[in-house]
Amino acid sequence: MAQTAVITTCPECGAKIPKAGMSICPYCVAPLKASPGKSIDREPLVQRLVTMPEKPDYAAACATAPPWSPEYQRAKNRQMQGSLLVVVGLVFVALQYLLSDAGWGFWTGLGGVLLLVGLWMALRGMLERSKLDRLELQKRPVYVIERSSVTDFDGKGTVRYFFDLQFADGTDGIYFYTGRGVSEELYANGMTGVAWTRGRELLGINRVRV
Ligand SMILES: [Zn+2]
């Protein structure tokens, strides 16, 4: 029996692969070895997928956007909290100006610090968000060929999933999905539906049976 060499670094991005036997690089989503799904005949799956727009559930699946990814939500929260700090900082500076004869004092200093921290947070959140917004949001009929996962992806217990997805136009690709927590419904192998993707990230799949 042929023994394939254990891949320890990604040939695509050079990152260290955390676990032996992984089929996908958890950092850049490059395939490290062919998935078992590669050997199956995709043609019947494609034939099923092209009928999806005729299904009664299809319109609703296309209309319901999945929730933001955790990364996007974090950026949004950071932008909001930063903006709030800016407002509070401005209020402190204005109050001190109105209430003291000198026009500046302790509250000016505190307000100034809040203002700067708030500006930095808001700017960082805005940049992170706009980076994600630049990636095109796509929704397409999909068949889940294979799911795999890496636990503790970032050392904080985050689970990152990888989905080998087959699309109706005959193309396929590997997309990552960051775990949302215990209550989440996970997409199983063989599931069909409308997949919402942004770049290489899978945001969600709304089930449509075909
Ligand atoms: Zn890589």
Instruction: Read off the pLDDT of each residue in 93-102 and give the average, rounded to a whole number.
Output: 90
Reported residue count of the chain is 210
Give residues whose Cβ lies within 5 Å of ion ligand 1: 10, 12-13, 15, 25, 27-28, 30
Rounded (5°) CA angle 83-87-88: 115
pLDDT at residue 33, as a whole number: 75
How far apart CA 191 and CA 183 sit, in angstroms, is 19
Q: What is the pLDDT of residues 137-192, one digit of tens each?
A: 999 999 999 888 888 778 888 888 999 999 999 899 999 999 887 666 789 999 99
CATH code of domain 37-66+136-207:
2.40.50
Give the list of residues 6+ apart from residue 15 with CB closer than 8 angstroms, or none: 9, 25, 26, 27, 28
Ligand 1 centroid to residue 32 C-alpha, Å: 9
Locate the DSSP E strands across the chain.
137-150, 160-167, 172-178, 192-198, 201-207
Domains of the chain, by residue range, sit at 1-33, 37-66+136-207, 70-133
Ligand 1 centroid to residue 76 C-alpha, Å: 27
**pTM for this entry:** 0.78
Looking up tokens 């795999």, which residue turns up? 148
Q: Specify which residues 54 forms β-bridges with.
A: none
Ligand 1 centroid to residue 204 C-alpha, Å: 23
Ligand 1 centroid to residue 80 C-alpha, Å: 33
Ligand 1 centroid to residue 25 C-alpha, Å: 5
The alpha carbon of 68 is separated from its chain's Cα centroid by a whole number of angstroms, namely 8
Whole-angstrom distance between the N-terminal and C-terminal Cα of the chain? 39
By the 8 A CB rule, do 170 and 144 touch? no
pLDDT level of residue 2 (50, 70, 90 thresholds): very low
Question: For residue 175, which amino acid is it?
Answer: Y
Q: C-alpha distances in angstroms, 194 versus 121, 141, 144?
A: 35, 4, 11
